[in-house]
Amino acid sequence: MLGAFVLPVDRFEAAKAMLSEFDPQNRLGISALGPKTENAGAFSQALSKVSGAIRTLSAFNSDLVTIDQLEMFLPAEANLELLKEAQSLTGNLPAFWEVPSDRAEKTIALIAELNSENPTFGFKLRTGGVTADAFPTSVQIAKVLRSAAMQQVPIKFTAGLHHPIRQYRDEVRTKMHGFLNVFGAAVLAADHEWDEKQTSAMLDDEDAKSFQFENGVFSWRDWRIDLNRLKDRRKFVISFGSCSFDEPCEDLRALGLL
């Protein structure tokens, strides 16, 4: 269930001490998390250091650790030239670029243009945080999902998706998005060409009984997608990062899905 372990680049040195816990059959797969920068110049300098750190850790013990991908925040003035510069530094390493939801569609379009030549970039959407204002609306998420699907840009998510089904949580004083809602809406919206209203309706659903897994089919209400189509769609709906591994598992067990 655990894909890449999200590890800030400034913690790479500390991670070296833990590599003895792994072996060549069970290597530590890392999603390298770069620092947030305020402008294009600082971004370029930081990315250069990040690329160097990735090469250093990869060479430290390739039998025990792999860098599977990079994720990093893009500054507001990011444009095609900056992304081309980033690609020259990252090479063929998959990279997911994060921006606020109000800049998402423009950034996805830039990524799609660059991917037409070398498809290594994806988009990263922040779906929550520790305060209510960190959570995008369902409409905002729906727009991003549709944009990424139409332009075939891989997307991953971060923060706020601790629980399978959308629900109100006292700790953040708002409703948290469910990861079954988000992933389900992403694949069904792409497969059935939903509009924003229909996509938002699934994102807003708080009834676990609406979601069914049976006989090689995933369904939400009357909408279905079979396993083969689901696998194709999941090539573009990659993963979500969470600070908790246990909470999602416990919730899935409570729903009888795990």
- Asked if residues 6 and 96 have their Cβ atoms less than 8 Å apart, the reply is no
In this structure, the answer to whether residues 94 and 182 fall within a common structural domain is no
**Domain assignment of residue 33, yes or no:** yes
Burial 87-97 (b: 16+ CB within 10 A, else e): bebbeebbbbb
Residue ranges making up the domain that contains 7:
1-98
Number of other CB atoms surrounding residue 179 within 10 Å: 23
Position 94 scores a pLDDT of: 96
In this structure, the answer to whether residues 143 and 255 fall within a common structural domain is yes
Position 193 scores a pLDDT of: 94
In this predicted structure, the answer to whether residue 1 has a pLDDT above a threshold of 90 is: no
CA distances in angstroms from 86 to 4, 70, 72, 96, 116, listed in the order given: 21, 11, 11, 11, 16
In this predicted structure, the answer to whether residue 3 has a pLDDT above a threshold of 90 is: no
Position 250 scores a pLDDT of: 95
**Domain assignment of residue 215, yes or no:** yes
Position 117 scores a pLDDT of: 85
In this structure, the answer to whether residues 157 and 84 fall within a common structural domain is no
In this structure, the answer to whether residues 148 and 254 fall within a common structural domain is yes
CA-wise closest residue to 128 among 243, 47, 6, 27: 243
In this structure, the answer to whether residues 134 and 253 fall within a common structural domain is yes
Helix, coil or strand: residue 158 = strand
Q: For residue 164, what are its two tokens?
A: 């399978």
Pairing of strands 211-214, 174-176: unpaired
**Domain assignment of residue 229, yes or no:** yes
In this structure, the answer to whether residues 186 and 256 fall within a common structural domain is yes
In this predicted structure, the answer to whether residue 242 has a pLDDT above a threshold of 90 is: no
In this structure, the answer to whether residues 63 and 150 fall within a common structural domain is no
In this predicted structure, the answer to whether residue 45 has a pLDDT above a threshold of 90 is: yes
In this structure, the answer to whether residues 1 and 87 fall within a common structural domain is yes
Number of domains in the chain: 2
Position 215 scores a pLDDT of: 87
Instruction: Please tell me the pTM assigned to this model.
Output: 0.93
226 torsion bin: left (phi>0), alpha (psi -120 to 50), beta (else) = beta
In this structure, the answer to whether residues 36 and 91 fall within a common structural domain is yes
In this predicted structure, the answer to whether residue 5 has a pLDDT above a threshold of 90 is: yes
What's the distance, CA 60 to chain centroid? Answer: 27
Write out pLDDT tens, residues 216-227.
999 999 999 999
Q: Is 16 exposed, middle or buried (0-12, 13-18, 19+ CB in 10 A)?
A: middle
In this structure, the answer to whether residues 170 and 247 fall within a common structural domain is yes
CA 254/CA 251 separation, integer angstroms? 5
In this structure, the answer to whether residues 252 and 176 fall within a common structural domain is yes
Pairing of strands 167-169, 174-176: antiparallel
CA-wise closest residue to 5 among 24, 22, 30, 32: 30
**Domain assignment of residue 55, yes or no:** yes
In this structure, the answer to whether residues 198 and 139 fall within a common structural domain is yes
**Domain assignment of residue 124, yes or no:** no
Q: What sign has the CA pseudo-torsion 144, 148, 153, 159?
A: positive
Write out pLDDT tens, residues 69-94.
999 999 999 999 999 999 999 999 99
**Domain assignment of residue 203, yes or no:** yes
> Looking at 51, 79, 98, which one is the last position of a domain?
98
> Looking at 74, 98, 122, which one is the last position of a domain?
98
Mean pLDDT along residues 34-53: 96
**Domain assignment of residue 118, yes or no:** no
- Asked if residues 164 and 253 have their Cβ atoms less than 8 Å apart, the reply is no
